[in-house]
Chains A and B, each alone.
Chain A
Amino acid sequence: MALIEETAGRDVYRISEATAGDYIELLKPRVMSLVVFTAIVGLVAAPGSVNPFIAIVAILCIAVGAGASGALNMWYDADIDAVMGRTAKRPVPSGRVRPQEALSFGLILSFLSVLTLGVLVNWLSAAILAFTIFFYVVVYTMWLKRSTPQNIVIGGAAGAFPPMLGWAAATGGIGIESVVLFSIIFLWTPPHFWALALFKCKDYGAAGVPMLPNVCGERTTRNQILLYSLVLAPVGVAPWMLGFASAGYGVFAAVMGAVFVWYAFGVYRMKDGDERMIPAKKLFGFSILYLFALFAAILVDVIVGDMLRLFSVGLA
């Protein structure tokens, strides 16, 4: 990190006033918390046992890798972050951290997280982590985000990898179960972000980011939200149908999926030119709860299943 900057041709120095907190903000802690949570679910749901310390190291590496891609995203997107109210106060656009510092920080953490995961856990999970960082930074941030309204459909894959990473860290392989967990997040991403884009349409428009509402219109966006929700709801139940979650999870996921579709239907029925966008805001809020609840249910399901198995072994 360059801490003193010499202005060309003048004897003027700029000394960094960035605190550790500013660098932690570069890691996008909120996004990181969801990544950590879904990776833990993937790791715990995987068959077999893994040393608890190795498991903690794996989750730590995945968290740092996710944070690194967040820092690289903030480095590249500083120009559009500066014009959007939601992101204008981030460390780079606000001037607290220089772009070069954010870039170095992101690259060093990416390298360290992948290398540590490979050396201490296994190289398959390290390869998936490296691919996830590449996908988020290069494919989504540098390419898709500014060029197509389908940006978050394809880019959503980057956010869907963490449970697969957790699974690979525990087993050294990729099972159908981890692909299902991937699919849930992958299909959840479009309705979640398009609901946000509906009521933040002007922000994205001002920044020149081609989101679906400001390229194809609100009507198309509302149709697409409903379509994705109708596909997401049954996929949410798939862990039970494929036999790696209990019937209790299946019922819970079915109810949550039905509520999701209900909220999406509310967005579908929204009138053209609705300024308040209440249904879109409700769907956005519920979508966060939905994903958290489904993964929490899988986690509880696995833990309860293990306890019952231990109990029955004890009785025998």
Chain B
Amino acid sequence: MKDEGVELTEKQRKARRSRSIAIALALGALVIVFYVVTFIKGGAIVNRPL
């Protein structure tokens, strides 16, 4: 069956890729920031009994 999806031009493909990489980096940074601050601030989450 023929694919009827939208065919992206080279420019559109490159633009989408650059946006995707930027979103991935931003989300990755956000995860790292929250992870590290959780340890710095400590508290109930880090010090809970196992």
Contact = CB atoms under 8 A, between A and B. Distances in A.
Interface of A: 1, 3-4, 13, 15-21, 23-24, 51, 53-54, 57, 60, 112, 116, 120
Contact of A120 (B15, B16, B22, B34): B34
B50 interface: no
Interface residues of B, number: 18
B22 A17 contact: no
A19 B14 contact: yes
Contact of B40 (A18, A20, A54, A60): A54
24 contacts: A1-B19, A4-B6, A13-B6, A15-B12, A16-B12, A16-B15, A16-B19, A17-B11, A17-B12, A18-B15, A18-B19, A19-B15, A19-B19, A20-B18, A20-B19, A23-B19, A54-B40, A57-B33, A60-B33, A112-B30, A116-B30, A120-B33, A120-B34, A120-B41
Contacts of B18: 19-21
Nearest to B20: A20
B34 A20 contact: no
B44 interface: no
Contacts of B36: 53
A6 to B, nearest CB: 11
B19 to A, nearest CB: 5
Given A13-B6, A53-B37, A120-B33, A20 B12 contact: no
B21 interface: yes
B19 A116 contact: no
B45 interface: no
A51 B42 CA distance: 13
Interface string B21-50: 110000000100110110011000000000
Interface of B is mostly: helix
Given A20-B22, A54-B40, 16 more contacts: A4-B6, A15-B12, A16-B12, A16-B19, A17-B11, A17-B15, A18-B15, A19-B14, A19-B19, A20-B21, A21-B18, A23-B19, A24-B22, A60-B33, A120-B33, A120-B34
A13 B11 CA distance: 15
B16 A53 contact: no
A54 B37 contact: yes
Given A53-B36, A54-B40, A23 B22 contact: yes
Nearest to B22: A20
Contacts of A20: 18-19, 21-22
Closest 3 CB pairs of A and B: A20-B22, A20-B18, A19-B18
B37 A120 contact: yes
B1 interface: no
B33 A3 contact: no
